[in-house]
Amino acid sequence: MSIYLKLVKALISTVEPSTEEKSYNKIFYRIMGFIAVFGIMLPMAFFVGVVIYALTQPLVSQGSGQNAVEMFMHLISVFSFIFGLNVIFSVFYFSGDIENLLPLPLKSYQIIGSKFTAALISESVMEFIVIIAAFAGYILASGRSWWSWILSVFGMLTLPIIPLAYCAIICMLIMLLSGFIKNKDTVNKITGFLTLGVVIGIAILVSKMGGLDTNKLVEALSDPNNPLLNVMNCIFPQVHFLVSAMVNNTFINLIFYIAVNGLAIAVFLIIAEAVYFKTAVGINYVAGKKKSKDKIISSFKMHNPCVTYLKKEFKILFRTPAYFTNCIIINLIWPVFLYIVYLLNGKTNFLDNFIYGIHNGNEESVLILILAISALSVLITAANCIASSALTREGKHFAFMKYIPLSYIAQINVKALVSIIISGAGMIIYVIAAAVYLNLGIKMSIFCCMVSLLSVTFVSYFGIFMDSVNPKLVWDDELNALRGNYNVFFNMAVAILLEAVTCAGAYLLFKFTSLGSLVIIIMLFIFLMILNTVSYLLCSYKATANIDKLSV
Amino acid sequence: MIKFENVTKVYNKTVRAVDDISFNVKGGEIVGFIGPNGSGKTTTMKMLTGIIRADVGKITVNGFNVRKEPIKAKESIGYIADSPDMFLRLKGTEFLDLIGDIYHVPTDKRQKRIKEFAERFELSEALSSQIMSYSHGMRQKIMVIAALMHDPPVWILDEPMVGLDPKSAFELKQMMRDHAKAGNAVFFSTHVLEVAEKLCDRVIIIKKGNILFDGTLEKLESTSKNESLEKIFLELTEK
């Protein structure tokens, strides 16, 4: 047991975000932390709590008060599963510590158990907050006792176990069955597409449901034999046992809850004991196709250094499985999630009026469209973290940036361009799709693309500046460069908050002043240009100075 | 070609990694930089290449001040870092092309030099594979090729022999001699005293950030009668 605990401690220490000792950076990080906690985490937790509270209240009188929280926990489990696949693959098979752990006289279950626990703890922090908020909403709405509070804390820590255990079992079986695939990177990339496939599958499932409004949702949840809930209870049985333990104040359901979790862990460890060493030993990266020496030599040609540097950035992003999934595939996942939200809203008056307004040049609808495009561009660019991890991803070879004869700002520009191209290309496709769907004119479509690009550019430069303050250059595997990196989270928090304030300000100006939408859109345009200039200047002066100061 | 003038580097305001050191490396010289672990060798080399900023003092490479004209100074340097694990997802060809473009190496010169180096190090066939599939020694070889491809007047090599097989180590030593003969400067760190003994015109011994000795091997040997270089080194550094 002590070996297991020591291993967990050691593994967690490698994913802990770096801390900065300099006092000015400490203050900066405290401010960013404050913004992230009070601007994003707590409002989100509050929102979740309020939604569950609002859904639970009408259900309590019908005797099915637990259904809303139960459905929500299933949703969280599905999310855990979707995002856990990539994490587990990386942690089990592609982290740098494997070469050090495998030669030690340890049993499979000790290595894999500690890796699983470390992944569970480091990956579920945000999930813990959401789970406890949802339970709080339920307990307050249904007037449960102190026993429920204790169970909710217990549930907060243990609910993600089964979804991650499923991921672990699937990963090990894929690795076992993929012996015929020589290059293991290919297997890891497949999980990226698998994640996308699961999300698209959910979208198709939801589209077949024909949309849900709040009344329909409450009606569906009040059905004690809700078919979807029954299916989900079979997939994630732990949710039902935990919620039942809360509702009935009984130990028996708690015992069942502990038993199913124990069973999942036991099955996972048994499979690990049988399979892990076989699949982890001999992970290889195959050599490229053989070419004649003359052909190789004649392939060397002189190009512009910035173009070659740009190609290098793209190749690393596309060839590194953790980056491919979290920086590239994520651009495709977010819009599908938004499409699911759109489908869940169904045909509401707001959407009908909005589309009608766009078709008829209604000023408010046009303004909302422009603001939505700007907000989505900011969200996608911040979420793919290409910019906010641009320096962190250099890791051990960060020194390369410093000893080559290419100015820091030139390198920053190339890194920003990578983020602009990938995020911008995705956004422009979505803008064109929206333009076709909403029948926007060419001028309007071009304007939407420009607003999108300005938003993407601002977040890209701002992200690089944020990363330059304290890049996390020591990481064991590439996933930790993204996940264990405060800068990614802070950049997302600041960008989202700034965009939320901008959009709200623009909309309030429209509503409460006599300014027309065109004037406000021009003001937004100018504001985005100012943000771009500021973020570029931050990179030119502060980020370059930060890079110069870094001792590596 | 390399000039260090009263250079100091302090980490976290407490650890004096390099303490007011001064030395020169002239064109045509091979200078070995020797010292125990943690003595300040890598910090010195990193300050020389612009990776770390010196707190005090002036560093000049090929006549260019490292702080004031960093790009020109960097263009004059061929640097091999202490770890060859770099850009593992790139193919050998892609990595060398990246370096070639950054240092503005024309196509014909690039092809000629890569061909020559790859044959000397027996790496030609592996160039089309990702660096990830290379052994440690092969990675070190490609770093050597990348660092020397643009024919810089100053070579700065941090433990360049580590991981190289005997033939490649021999080839590199020969290249270092040829480079110095052509009037260029070679400054390298090593733990292997035999390498320093056979290769260097001069050695600099550093301990705890201070230079203990700077001179020819003959001068070093004359400080102690009939003792091996190893013994002299130990005596100096364990005082």
Report the C-alpha gap between A117 and A157 in whole angstroms. 11
Q: Which residues of B touch A399 (CB under 8 A)?
A: 46, 51, 81
Contact A406 B102 (CB under 8 A): yes
Half-sphere exposure of B185 (CA within 13 A, CB side): 19
- What is d(CA A538, CA A378) in angstroms, rounded to the nearest whole number? 18
CA distance A33 to chain B (A): 24
B222 vs chain A: nearest CA distance in angstroms? 38
Q: Nearest by CB to A404, which of B97, B102, B118?
A: B102
Q: What is the DSSP string of A384-434?
A: T-TTTTTTGGGGGGGHHHHHSSS-HHHHHHHHHHHHHHHHHHHHHHHHHHH
Residues B49, B166 within the same domain? yes
- Would an 8 Å CB–CB cutoff place A410 in contact with chain B? no
Q: What is the distance between the terminal CA atoms of chain A, rounded to a whole angstrom?
A: 37
Tokens of A97: 């510590």
Structural domain boundaries of chain A? 22-280, 305-549
Contacts of A405 in chain B (CB under 8 A): 70-72, 74-75, 102-103
The answer on B107 and B29 residing in a single domain is no
pLDDT tens-digit profile of B43-99? Answer: 999 999 999 999 999 999 999 999 999 999 999 999 998 888 888 889 999 999 999
Structural tokens at position B83 = 């770890």
> Residue holding tokens 């699911």?
A340
Which residue stretches of A249-304 are H helix? 251-280, 293-298
Extract the residue ranges of chain A whose pLDDT is less than 50: none
Decide: A73 and A52 in contact? Cβ < 8 Å: no
Residue span of the structural domain in which B55 resides? 1-76+154-239
Which chain A residues are closer than 8 Å to B82 by Cβ?
none
Neighbours of A504 (CB within 10 A): 11
Output the pLDDT for position A415.
96
Selected residue of B10, B12, B18, B51 to mutate for chain A interface (largest A Cβ count, 10 A): B51
Best probe of the A interface among B86, B95, B102, by most A CBs < 10 A, is B102
Domain C-terminal end among B96, B125, B151 = B151
Under an 8 A CB cutoff, do A396 and B94 touch?
no
- A242 closest CA partner among A164, A169, A153: A153
What is the per-residue pLDDT across A429-449, written as a single tens digit (0 to 9) for each? 888 888 888 888 888 888 889
- Which residue pairs, CB below 8 angstroms and at least 24 apart, start in A26-33? A28/A469, A29/A469, A29/A470, A29/A486, A29/A490, A32/A466, A32/A486, A32/A490, A32/A493, A32/A494, A33/A486, A33/A490
Summarize pLDDT for B166-198 with one digit per residue, the tens.
888 888 899 899 899 989 999 999 888 888 888
Do B71 and B158 sit in the same domain of this protein? yes
Is there a contact between A161 and A265 (Cβ–Cβ < 8 Å)?
yes
DSSP conformation class of B91: B
- Closest chain A CA to residue B101: A305
CA distance A46 to A40: 10
The runs of H, that is alpha helices, within A281-407 are: 293-298, 305-319, 321-323, 330-345, 349-359, 363-383, 399-403
Length of chain A, in residues: 552
Find chain B residues with C-beta within 8 A of A311's C-beta.
94
User: According to the model, what pLDDT value does residue A47 have?
Assistant: 84
| Chain B contact probe: residue of A23, A184, A404 with most B CBs at under 10 A | A404
- State how far the Cα of B182 lies from the Cα of B28, in Å rounded to an integer: 7
CB–CB contact A293 B124 (8 Å): yes
Read off the amino acid at residue B164: L
End residue of a domain, out of B134, B151, B168: B151
Q: What is the pLDDT of residue B84?
A: 86
What does each C-alpha distance from B65 to A348, B49, B51, B69, B70 come to in angstroms? 68, 11, 14, 5, 7
Per the CB < 8 A criterion, the answer to whether B230 and B199 are in contact is: no
CA–CA dist A441, A401 (Å, integer):
45
Q: Cα–Cα distance between A210 and B118 in angstroms, integer?
A: 64
Cα–Cα nearest to B1, from B137, B140, B154: B154
Q: What is the mean pLDDT of residues B218-227?
A: 77
The rounded distance, in Å, linking the Cα atoms of A375 and A390 is: 22
**Of A89, A92, A85, A88, which is closest to residue A109 (Cα–Cα)?**
A92
Contacts of B77 in chain A (CB under 8 A): 403
Say whether both B102 and B197 belong to one domain: no
Query: Which residues of chain B make contact with A301, given a CB cutoff of 8 A?
Result: 97, 107, 110
- B37, B5: one domain: yes
Instruction: Please tell me whether residues B101 and B132 are part of one structural domain.
Output: yes
Please say if the pLDDT value at position B239 is more than 80. no
CATH number of the domain that residue B171 is part of: 3.40.50.300
Single out the residue in B96, B130, B151 at which a domain terminates: B151
Angle at the Cα of A245 (from A240 to A251), degrees rounded to 5?
130
In this prediction, residue A282 carries a pLDDT of: 61
Looking from the CA of A417 toward its CB, the CA atoms found within 13 Å total 15
Nearest chain B residue (CA) to A405? B71
* CA–CA dist A375, A451 (Å, integer): 10
Would you say B95 and B142 are in contact if contact means Cβ atoms under 8 Å apart?
yes
- Per the structure, the count of domains in chain B is 2
pLDDT at B204: 93
Helix, coil or strand: residue B16: strand
Using the Cβ of A255 and the Cβ atoms of chain B, whether some distance falls under 8 Å is answered with no
- Whether residue A23 lies within 8 A of chain B, CB to CB, comes out as no
CB contact (8 A) between residue A405 and residue B102: yes
Q: A90 near A14, Cβ under 8 Å?
A: no
Mean pLDDT computed over every residue of chain B: 89
Phi, psi (rounded to 5 degrees) for A352: -60, -50
Burial class (CB in 10 A: 0-12, 13-18, 19+), B61: buried
Which two structure tokens, joined as six digits, stand for A375? 């907000």
Separation CA B3–CA B163 (nearest Å) = 30
* Total residue length of chain B: 239
Closest CA to A239 of A257, A222, A221: A257
CB of A142 closer than 8 Å to CB of A65:
yes
Query: What pLDDT does residue A19 have?
Result: 52
- Residue A155 φ/ψ region, left for φ over 0, alpha for ψ in the -120 to 50 degree band, beta for the rest: alpha
